[in-house]
Amino acid sequence: MKYKALGNTGLLVSQLCLGTMTFSDGTGVYEHIGNVDQAGADELVKASIDAGINFFDTADVYSAGASERTLGQSFHNLGIPRNEVVLATKVYSRMGQGRNDVGASRGHIMDAVEASLRRLQTDHIDLYQIHATDILTPVEETLRALDDLVRQGKVRYLGVSNWQAWRIATALGISTRLNLERFNTLQAYYSIAGRDLERELKPLLEAEKMGLLVWSPLAGGLLSGKFDRENQSPEGSRRSSFDFPIVDKERAWNVIDVLKPIAEAHGCSPARIALAWLLSKPVVTSVIVGAKRLSQLEDNIAAVDVLLTDDEIAKLDAASELPPEYPGWMVATQGADRMGPVDLWAGKTTRTS
């Protein structure tokens, strides 16, 4: 296992992170995702620790707190010292029927962190993440509440998930101006079948030295090896009944057409190649992998040992390339002669006689 700094901090995390959304009672929307019980969770956590994974991600909303409770109990059952793991959870989603049981307000954050600490059986959270955009709460209120939690020792680092680039930039500016703790990480959807993050978020992360934690690296199972152009809804697959996250399917089939022969050449699953592609990207800090079975987790962990050639990466990049979008294509065109004169419009004009 390899390790990287968590954003612009000195905290080291494994390049694979065990996601625990599958730790649940399997009710509601989570019946489509997993129903790993305590014994199964203990097995997955132990296998992760044995493989060198020190990073674990959950959220209060996963099965209404069941994921946090199960993960906390696993650490207790396995006798894992608290200082040997980096524990991440999230706040925002509705946790009750009250008007204030949701959001990123000071009130909800302060209530939610105490509940998460109890469920996780710990006195601190290493990475506390705002799970979504709160359209009502001022960003400054959220940041002041999070800063207080860091100063109180209940939270050590801050992250955000599923925010737009402009909103993250605004928050970072407020943190600098008011001398508040800043967001160190973004948790976002990114996969070889969904590279939208590269347009605006990737440049922001690089410029601000923020870490990227990838959720759904296999596009909800679409890149698992079960799906292809001829078999678009395999029986028993989660994605067949829960079509999420949103993916351009035609581009995904093109990607899978390239993934499969590369996987065959390496003697492994297409899923392992899809994860290895992500791990090859410098912007990625850690890839969150979830599993319902030990065999799934073991296959995902093996991705750290896959070394893709430059030619294989080029083929995968080409198959998954995003279509040009403004202002990106205009920036590229106008900036092409910055290091020396070139014909900016070569190939972009036609001549008639």
Residue 201: other Cβ atoms inside 10 A: 20
For the cut 50, the answer to whether the pLDDT of residue 268 exceeds it is yes
Q: What is the DSSP letter of 281?
A: -
Which one of the listed residues 3, 30, 62, 157 is annotated catalytic? 62
Q: Which amino acid is at 303?
A: A
To the nearest whole percent, how much of the chain has pLDDT over 90?
A: 82
Rounded CA-CA distance 258/273 in Å is 10
Q: What is the pLDDT of residues 109-137, one digit of tens each?
A: 999 999 999 999 999 999 999 999 999 99
Q: Which amino acid is at 55?
A: F
Give the number of residues written for the chain: 353
Q: Is pTM beyond 0.75 here?
A: yes
Residue 334: other Cβ atoms inside 10 A: 11
Rounded CA-CA distance 279/277 in Å is 6
Q: What is the pLDDT of residues 330-348, one digit of tens each?
A: 998 888 888 899 888 887 7
For the cut 90, the answer to whether the pLDDT of residue 105 exceeds it is yes
Rounded CA-CA distance 231/329 in Å is 35
Q: Cα-atom radius of gyration of the chain, to the nearest Å?
A: 21
Residue 278 contacts residue 216 (beta carbons within 8 Å): no
User: pLDDT at position 236, please?
Assistant: 63
Angular region, 319: left φ>0, alpha ψ -120 to 50, beta rest: alpha
For the cut 60, the answer to whether the pLDDT of residue 351 exceeds it is no
User: pLDDT at position 353, please?
Assistant: 41
User: pLDDT at position 226, please?
Assistant: 82
Q: What is the DSSP letter of 30?
A: G
Rounded CA-CA distance 159/183 in Å is 5
For the cut 90, the answer to whether the pLDDT of residue 33 exceeds it is no
Q: If residue 315 lies in a helix (H) or strand (E), which one and from where to where? A: helix 310-320
Mean pLDDT, residues 235-258 taken together? 81
Cα 210-211-216 angle, rounded to 5 deg: 135
User: pLDDT at position 233, please?
Assistant: 73
Residue 304 contacts residue 273 (beta carbons within 8 Å): no
Annotated active-site residue 128? The verdict is no
Question: Of 65-74, 221-230, 280-289, which range is least confident?
Answer: 221-230
For the cut 80, the answer to whether the pLDDT of residue 196 exceeds it is yes
Rounded CA-CA distance 242/244 in Å is 6
